[in-house]
Amino acid sequence: MVKITDPTIDEYLMSLSKEDDKQLLEMEEFAREKHFPIVDRLVGRLLFILTKLKNPKLIVELGSGFGYSAYWFAKALSQGKVVLTDYEEKNLQVARKTFKRAGLLDKIELRAGDAREIAKEYSGIDILFIDIEKYQYLEAIKILLPNLNRHALIIADNSLWYGRVLEDTADKETAGIKKFNEFMFANKDFFTTIIPLRDGVLLSYKVT
Amino acid sequence: MVKITDPTIDEYLMSLSKEDDKQLLEMEEFAREKHFPIVDRLVGRLLFILTKLKNPKLIVELGSGFGYSAYWFAKALSQGKVVLTDYEEKNLQVARKTFKRAGLLDKIELRAGDAREIAKEYSGIDILFIDIEKYQYLEAIKILLPNLNRHALIIADNSLWYGRVLEDTADKETAGIKKFNEFMFANKDFFTTIIPLRDGVLLSYKVT
């Protein structure tokens, strides 16, 4: 499997990206201990800047885990809220504790269940963050297009899928990511690019 | 020298990032022919999205060359303008022709001379793009801090300097970039991150 970014570059970036937010450090430690996949600090910092620039009222996450990405979104919000979704109620309970300790509970909504079904209840989504099963990305975005606000931003994690997008493989996760990427780049209602940060962060800006 | 991003990943991203803007294609061809350094299409696409999100009134470029990055900024602008600066009048003449053909001449100002001196004439800068001599970055940003608008975005190219930031070298370009990065990350008025795209794109959001 290819290394998307040279590991020494990642080390340099991490050495610059010092963190003193106790909750973030605890979440990163929790992820390491439990081998729980999170977007990591460098992607988190990008989410923070994108949120500051966008100044959204409504962020909906498809697949929140225990709230690491949502925490970066919430920290950047000056108004509005983040809706966290996860199949596992117990992940959201961990999130609730973290956001409570950080005084950010008023910025979030926690919803257990099928992320796509839950997201359909919300309209005017300003930022849609996608981090569910990879074969579900394309179906999810097709279902949720009507729920996006004008000039919405879609952010999808794992859009390079550890470099497997380069392989001629039939596994449904890789095929799903490739089809999703192709769909977004071909869709004229969006301007799309992929940032080769960590596992690839797709950004799609709704031009309509 | 390290490869910041795996070349096969770059190829995949380029294969997705099809372009049909004649002016952009011509500028890319011109850069290849003349061995003129440009930020490249993938960085250009990121600039486009950042500009859409920020919706700036005033973008000032320190070091515009023949206008490749400025073209991406101008395309994304719904209001406001981009100020292009370059020591070489002839580079700006090439830019003028390109923007004229694209019908974007009303979105730009072309200024030949010392980028830092010219930029000082502008206040309320919403996006400051830095791509001058690398040893000048730190001095430039220190001079221009008072000229930034509230919540300005600084974008600096070559912030990983072909991976030389990892080396213990005394050359003034590398030392300049390293000091600039450290200054921006340590400055509490800004939230800073570096995107490992092409040669490193530093993003600094002014939180004040």
Q: In the prediction, which pLDDT does A169 show?
A: 78
Average pLDDT over residues B102-119: 98
Quickly state the pLDDT bin for B3 (edges 50, 70, 90). Answer: very high
Distance, CA of B115 to CA of B120 (rounded, Å): 9
For A96, other C-beta atoms within 10 Å of its C-beta total: 16
Contact A5, A196 (CB under 8 A): yes
Q: Residue holding tokens 């990427």?
A: A181
Q: How far apart are CA B105 and CA B100, in angstroms?
A: 5
Q: What is the pLDDT of residues B4-29, one digit of tens each?
A: 999 999 999 999 999 999 999 999 99
Strand-strand pairing, B201-206 and B190-195? antiparallel
Here the tokens at position B151 are 């919540």
The predicted-structure confidence for A88-97, as pLDDT tens digits, reads as follows 999 999 999 9
Q: Quickly count: other Cβ atoms within 10 Å of residue B30's Cβ.
A: 15
Nearest CA in chain A to B200: A9
Q: How far is residue B168 from each of residues A8, B117, B157, measured CA to CA in Å?
A: 14, 32, 21
At A125-139, the pLDDT tens digits run: 999 999 999 999 999
Minimum Cα–Cα distance from A41: chain B residue: B193
Q: Measured between CB atoms, does A18 come within 8 Å of chain B?
A: yes
Give ipTM to 2 decimals: 0.97
Instruction: Tell me, yes or no, if A46 comes closer than 8 A to chain B by beta carbon.
Output: yes
Residues in chain A closer than 8 A to B160 (CB atoms): 9, 12
DSSP code for A67 = S
B88 Cβ neighbours under 8 A, 6+ residues apart: B112
What pLDDT, on the 0 to 100 scale, is given for residue A72? Answer: 98
CB contacts of A4 in chain B (<8 Å) are 5-6, 9
Q: Using a CB-CB distance cutoff of 8 angstroms, which residues of chain A are in contact with residue B194?
A: 13, 16
Q: Do A49 and B191 touch (CB under 8 A)?
A: yes
> How confident is the model over B191-202, as a mean pLDDT?
97
Strand pairing of B148-157 and B125-130? Answer: parallel
The per-residue b/e assignment along A14-53, b for 16 or more CB within 10 angstroms, e otherwise, is eebbeeeeebbeebbeebeeeeeebbbbbbbbbbbbbbbb
CB contact under 8 A, B12 and A165: yes
* Mean pLDDT over the full length of chain B: 97
Q: Which residues contact B44 (CB under 8 A, 6 or more apart)?
A: B24, B68, B69, B71, B72
Contact between residue A101 and residue A23 where contact means Cβ atoms under 8 Å apart: yes
| Per-residue model confidence as pLDDT tens digits over A23-43 | 999 999 999 999 999 999 999
| A171 vs B: CB within 8 A | no
**Closest partner CB to A5 (pick from B5, B181, B185):** B5
- Structure confidence by residue, pLDDT tens digits, A141-176: 999 999 999 999 999 999 999 999 998 877 999 999
**Nearest-CA residue of chain A relative to B190?**
A49
pLDDT in tens, B33-78: 999 999 999 999 999 999 999 999 999 999 999 999 999 999 999 9
Tell me the C-alpha distance between B47 and B40, whole Å: 11
All domains in chain A, ordered by first residue? 7-206 (3.40.50.150)
**pLDDT tens, residue by residue, A69-118:** 999 999 999 999 999 999 999 999 999 999 999 999 999 999 999 999 99
